[in-house]
Structure formats: C-alpha cells, structure tokens
C-alpha cells in the first residue's frame, strides 16, 4: 500500500508582486529565486490574479504553443477564410499568420477588436465588415467571444480598387 502524502511538505509560501511591477524585473526575480508562479496584488493588497513565467515570456516573445495546447489558434479554411480563437493577440495574428488587424491601445486580442468595433458584446452568428474583413462570430462562451471566422473582403465588397497594397495577409501573397 502507498503511504499517504504529507501535503504540508509540498506547500510553499506565496510570492506576492505588485501589479505595477515591470515584466522584465519580475522575470529576472522569478528566475533568480526559482519561482514559477506569483500572486499579483493591487495597491490595497487585494489579489488581482496570478502570473507564471510562461505568461511573462509570452508577453515578451508572443504566444508559445506547447504539448498541452489543444489546437491551433488559427485554422485556414478551404474557402480562404480563417477560423480564429478570439483570445489570440493581434500582434500574434500579424507576426505568426500574416493576418493584419489594426493595433490599438483599446484591445490586445481578436475578441477585444470585435467588441471595440461593435461597441457591444455580439451574438453567435452575427456578421459585420471591418478593415477589409468580413467577421462572423462563431462561438460565445459566457460574455466572451471564443471563436470568429475572418473572410477577406473582395474589392467589390469594400469599394476599394486593388492598388497592390493589400496587406490583409501575407500567407496568400506568396
């Protein structure tokens, strides 16, 4: 028979950090102390979340996919449109997939872009056009946009003439 595990031997004191701490300083401190997770607190000492070393590295270099990630955040469909996990960072859409969505301090993710453009939380199945794309909401979980489909608009749909400067996605231009 197995001996019972003494959970107290596994416990560690929490590592608290202020939410105003710079990413680079926190990463150095966590590496130096051999800590993989930190508890983030606000100016009043209230817990506002947790942060891992992986979170910090992803903020610096972009999304890191590992063996535990279930599926790709962007899947190109046969008709040339893209099924997108709405939690993907706008920066990663451009850097990793060549899909250009305008950056803004108002949002970080595809879901944030959609909410900012619509100025509300959309319904599943809703469709709208923005910045050269037709965007269809495929899945909502709670109040969060989970998946969208991006379809590049044709020039006849946008009213724009093709001047060779179409930068919507570099994958199709190669």
Task: Tell me if domain 13-61 and domain 74-153 are identical in fold.
Answer: no
CB atoms < 10 A from the CB of 41, how many? 16
Distance from C-alpha of 58 to C-alpha of 139, rounded to nearest angstrom: 25
What pLDDT sits at residue 65? 59
Q: Which CATH class is domain 13-61?
A: alpha beta
Q: What is the DSSP letter of 12?
A: -
What pLDDT sits at residue 123? 93
What pLDDT sits at residue 154? 83
Angle (CA) 127-129-134 rounded to 5° is: 70
Give the β-pairing of 144-152 and 37-41. Answer: unpaired
pTM attached to this predicted model: 0.55
Per-residue CA distances from 15 to 6, 79, 92 (Å): 22, 49, 30
What pLDDT sits at residue 10? 87
Per residue of the chain (174 residues), give pLDDT as tens.
788 888 888 888 999 999 999 999 999 999 999 999 999 999 999 999 999 988 888 777 765 656 555 678 899 998 999 999 999 999 999 998 999 999 999 999 999 999 999 999 999 999 999 999 999 999 998 888 999 999 999 876 555 444 333 444 444 443
Q: What is the DSSP letter of 17?
A: E
Q: How far apart are the first and last CA of the chain?
A: 62
Q: Which CATH class is domain 74-153?
A: alpha beta
What pLDDT sits at residue 158? 55
Q: Which residues pair with 104 in a beta bridge?
A: 107
What pLDDT sits at residue 55? 83
* Token pair belonging to 33: 């102390």
CA-based Rg of the chain, rounded to a whole angstrom? 21
Domain boundaries, the chain: 13-61, 74-153
């Amino acid at each position: 028979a197995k001996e019972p595990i003494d959970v107290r031997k596994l416990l560690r004191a929490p590592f608290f950090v202020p939410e105003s701490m710079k990413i680079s300083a926190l990463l150095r401190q966590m590496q130096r102390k051999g800590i993989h997770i930190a508890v983030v607190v606000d100016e009043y000492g209230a817990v506002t979340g947790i942060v891992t070393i992986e979170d910090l590295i992803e903020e610096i270099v972009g999304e890191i996919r590992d063996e535990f990630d279930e599926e790709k955040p962007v899947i190109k469909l046969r008709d040339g449109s893209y099924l997108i996990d709405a939690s993907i960072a706008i920066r990663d859409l451009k850097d990793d997939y060549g899909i250009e969505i305008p950056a803004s301090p108002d949002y970080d993710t595809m879901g944030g872009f959609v909410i900012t453009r619509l100025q509300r939380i959309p319904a599943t199945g809703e469709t709208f056009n923005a910045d050269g794309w037709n965007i269809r909401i495929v899945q909502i979980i709670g109040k969060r946009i989970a998946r969208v489909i991006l379809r590049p608009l044709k020039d006849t749909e946008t009213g724009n003439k093709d001047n060779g400067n179409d930068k919507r996605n570099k994958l199709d231009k190669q």
